[in-house]
Structure 1
Amino acid sequence: MDSIEMIRMQVNHLVTQSRQDLHTLSTLSDPSRKAQILQRLWDALSTIHFLSEWLANQAKNGYPIVPSQSSIPVPSENVNQSQNPPVPSLPTQSLSPSNQRTFTIGELATFTGKNGRPAYVAVNGIVYDMTTNRAWAAASHFGLTAGKEYTQEFASCHAGQQSILAALPIAGRLV
């Protein structure tokens, strides 16, 4: 089975699980159970979004779609619907000499994605280039705008999803 087929299966599994969860959600009255299902739906959507962005970045950079087939989990036929879907593990980028540029918060503020400037954001002291990232179309993402530091916002929305950052191009570091 090739890598694209494995990713397609993972996305199809997440969509199927989400459809089932939406149906279940519409019939429930228990608030705690609803909260669990909403969290699982959020996680599934985040994983689908991650896979989409990761594939786009891999294709854009001319990398093979998947470094090894073992990094993309394939759902089994007996998936426990109460478990969250696995997220593929990706190597974490490090700051190499080619992306050692340092930015002050003032310098970062000039990279707003407007007037031909790149769109940069900082998370955990690392500055990421969001210029071609579809989730940051028009240099904004769910009300957040480029040119700022978003460590707390990332942690509150994407807790435990460091793999999202691993797929992004690094522009430098925040000092």
Structure 2
Amino acid sequence: MNKFLPNVWSICLLLIFGFLTIIGVIAQIASNPDLNSWTWRQIVMLVIGIVVYFSFSFLGFYYLIARMKMRGICWDEEGVYVDFSHHKIYWHEIEDIYCTNYPGVGKATVIATFTNSKKDIQKRLDKLKSPVSRYSFDIFWISVQKSKIMHEQLIYDFEQYKKSHMAVYHNGYFIQ
């Protein structure tokens, strides 16, 4: 089982952008320390800068911790770990795996699940109390090392799984 860890360059870029954003926020505060004379635009830019800082930094540290703990995108005979927190989607819940291109973000491997598996998936992912509103999971190529190889191997292993379980795969649905 290959493990595809978070991309080192993505981690570095996220942490650098987060650091530069907080430097910009501090520079804005230092240039005009009298908060009474601030315009509403400066306050909005300050709030946006803080939100962007926490977004970049959170994602950068999330990837860094996942890399240090050796958590990656991987799969075994039971299913696919779809994120760096090791949330698992079982093979029999997967309808299709394909590649798509998101403008501004880049390519992603999309794991589409059957609609009748929504409740099972939501029970397993209920740790965060987040509802599963859609039936697909995206693995962004920018966040994974060797993403093209990961995508090709994942599709190959999914096709092998479908061939070996062809007796229970009927009319686009897995029969359990």
| TM-score, structure 2 normalization | 0.38
Structure with more of its chain in helix, by fraction: 2
Structure 1 length-normalised TM: 0.38
